[in-house]
């Protein structure tokens, strides 16, 4: 049996109750076959794949806090430090009721390769809690964040592990967590990224994931003799990534006609009004029905359905496994040319294959949404040199990073005779750097 298949079997047997983690591992290991086969003896002797699929360590802890009625609530917190071969652990904190060990492990595992692709010195990690910020008062969110950080602060540090935002964790949550870290440790350091601009945050970090997604999509189109101008774009989600992806797509001359949240979706043939969407989601923290109520051209639909809308480009920006095989079939039938993932693992493996087999240019999240963590790394750099760069400086570095990622993954795919397979290219390019660093550093 090949080394890849052996490790896959072992990972499946060992993590049977973690379907998202298995899905992420399968996707990566499967596409690494040509690289592993070419160096099987070394990789097998070094147990590279076993070491990559086993986190360095994982923390799981109780998070007690008091709600506005005086009732004590208990959540479960996580931080999984996956691999620090090329830099301190780096990755977001997800606050969502669905969070469990398997979800954090899939995100932490993917973060290793994504962070490597940025070209910056950051390792892979992820964390979060099964806490739902929705419908909570600011005081309740603060109580939760303080309790969460009271435990988390034992495991992180500016040169150790640097968390950031993800689903449910935005500037408000990062602020409360940063305050608590500082109070307990008496250290003012860049231990978190996505901080507010008055206390060490970087300009353009808020926009970075969505903007980065469009920079790589634009490069993809350009390299196929196309542009963003006049294209119809379908986007899912209505959070941080979706909002700034919409904004940048519009700045590039495309028309974004959808957005969605966990209860329903909007079709707006005139193009999404980003300022209104920001008001509804960032300020009021309300449902999309409020967007529809305020905008004549918008239709609101319950449930899911954005992928049924005819488009040139689809950008899934909500959550994992939100684009299924039937959605892929509908997009292909409607003439969609390109799919780039703003979210982490939003497309199922069979849907991804369907796109690739039907000539759709497909860039997976590890490459396409790397602009967020790349800009987090730029925030770390600014914190280390105790300086703040201008928006234009950060944004131009972000653009360059995304263009470089596109060409690196394109080249890696070509090197292995798989031109246009950007999923394989991303996994290979991300893997090679980490594997080399692991071997150079010995058995640790
Ligand atoms: P937000 O919390 O800001 O927004 C998430 C959006 O997705 C919301 O509209 C939310 O709807 C929707 N959503 C979340 N979970 C579900 C679900 N189970 N079913 C349907 N809709 C859902 O998160 P972000 O925009 O930051 O993150 C979106 C994706 O991008 C995630 O996969 C994240 O891991 C990834 N990502 C984020 C980065 C960042 O810098 N923030 C960087 C790289 C990737 P509702 O409000 O109703 O829950
Ligand atoms: O999935 C991701 O890359 C993020 N949520 C951002 C991580 C970070 O450290 O900025």
Distance 335 CA to ligand 2 centre (A): 31
- Name the closest ligand to CA 238: 1
Going by alpha carbons, the residue nearest to atom 3 of ligand 1 is 239
Interval 200-227: pLDDT, tens: 999 999 999 999 999 999 999 999 999 9
DSSP, residue by residue, 158-178: TTTEEEE-BTTB-HHHHHHHH
Instruction: Check: CB of residue 257 under 8 Å from CB of residue 272.
Output: yes
Going by alpha carbons, the residue nearest to atom 30 of ligand 1 is 343
Strands of 1-71 (E only): list them: 57-66
Residues of the chain with pLDDT under 70: none
Interval 28-74: pLDDT, tens: 999 999 999 999 999 999 999 999 999 999 999 999 999 999 999 99
* 92 ligand 2 Cβ < 6 A: yes
What are the strands of the beta sheet with 123-129, ordered from one edge? 57-66, 72-83, 123-129, 89-95, 161-164
Q: CA distances (Å), 188 to each of 72, 89, 199, in order?
A: 30, 19, 10
* pLDDT in the model for residue 308: 98
* pLDDT in the model for residue 266: 98
Atom of ligand 1 nearest to the CA of 319: 32
- Angle at which helices 391-415 and 370-384 pack, to 10 degrees? 130
Going by alpha carbons, the residue nearest to atom 36 of ligand 1 is 343
Say what the pTM is.
0.98
Beta bridge partners of 59: 79
* pLDDT in the model for residue 334: 98
* 243 ligand 2 Cβ < 6 A: no
Interval 134-187: pLDDT, tens: 999 999 999 999 999 999 999 999 999 999 999 999 999 999 999 999 999 999
* pLDDT in the model for residue 326: 98
Q: What are phi and psi of 5, to 5 degrees?
A: -65, -40
* pLDDT in the model for residue 194: 98
Residues with CB under 6 A from ligand 1: 165-168, 209, 237-242, 261-263, 317-319, 342-344, 369, 372
Going by alpha carbons, the residue nearest to atom 15 of ligand 1 is 319
* pLDDT in the model for residue 52: 98
Torsion of CA 178, 180, 183, 189, to 10 degrees: -20
């Amino acid at each position: 049996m090949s080394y890849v298949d052996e490790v896959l079997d072992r990972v499946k047997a060992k993590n049977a109750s973690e379907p998202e983690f298995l899905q992420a591992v399968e996707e990566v290991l499967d596409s690494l076959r040509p690289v592993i086969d070419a160096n099987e003896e070394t990789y097998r002797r070094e147990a590279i794949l076993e070491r990559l699929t086993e986190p360095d360590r994982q923390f799981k802890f109780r998070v007690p806090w008091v709600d506005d009625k005086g009732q004590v609530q208990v959540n479960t917190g996580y931080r999984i430090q996956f691999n620090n071969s090329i830099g301190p652990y780096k990755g977001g904190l997800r606050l969502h009721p669905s969070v469990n060990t398997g979800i954090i492990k899939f995100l932490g595992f993917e973060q290793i390769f994504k962070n490597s692709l940025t070209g910056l010195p950051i390792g892979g990690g992820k964390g979060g809690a099964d806490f739902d910020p929705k419908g909570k008062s600011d005081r309740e969110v603060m109580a939760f964040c303080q309790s969460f950080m009271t435990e988390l602060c034992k495991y992180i540090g500016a040169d150790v592990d640097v968390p950031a935002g993800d689903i449910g964790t935005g500037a408000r949550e990062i602020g409360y967590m940063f305050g608590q870290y500082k109070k307990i440790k008496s250290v003012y350091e860049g231990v978190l990224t996505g901080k507010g601009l008055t206390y060490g945050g970087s300009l353009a970090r808020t926009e970075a994931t969505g903007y980065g997604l469009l920079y790589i999509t634009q490069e993809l189109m350009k390299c196929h003799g196309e542009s963003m101008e006049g294209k119809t774009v379908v986007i899912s989600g209505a959070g941080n990534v979706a909002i700034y992806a919409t904004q940048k797509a519009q700045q590039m001359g495309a028309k974004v006609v959808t957005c969605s949240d966990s209860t329903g979706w909007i079709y707006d043939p005139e193009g999404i009004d980003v300022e209104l969407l920001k008001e509804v989601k960032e300020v009021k923290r309300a449902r999309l029905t409020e967007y529809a109520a305020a905008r004549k051209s918008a239709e609101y639909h319950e449930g899911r359905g954005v992928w049924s809308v005819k488009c040139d480009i689809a950008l899934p920006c909500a959550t994992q496994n939100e684009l299924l095989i039937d959605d892929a079939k509908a997009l292909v039938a409607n003439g969609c040319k390109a799919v780039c993932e703003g979210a982490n693992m939003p497309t199922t493996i069979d849907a991804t294959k369907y796109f690739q087999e039907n000539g759709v240019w497909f860039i997976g999240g590890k490459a396409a949404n790397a602009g967020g963590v790349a800009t987090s790394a730029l925030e770390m750099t600014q914190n280390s040199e105790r300086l703040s760069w201008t928006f234009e400086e950060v944004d131009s570095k972000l653009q360059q990073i995304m263009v470089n990622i596109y060409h690196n993954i394109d080249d890696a795919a070509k090197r292995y005779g798989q031109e246009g397979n950007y999923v394989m290219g991303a996994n290979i390019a991300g893997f090679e750097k980490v594997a080399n660093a692991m071997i150079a550093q010995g058995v640790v």
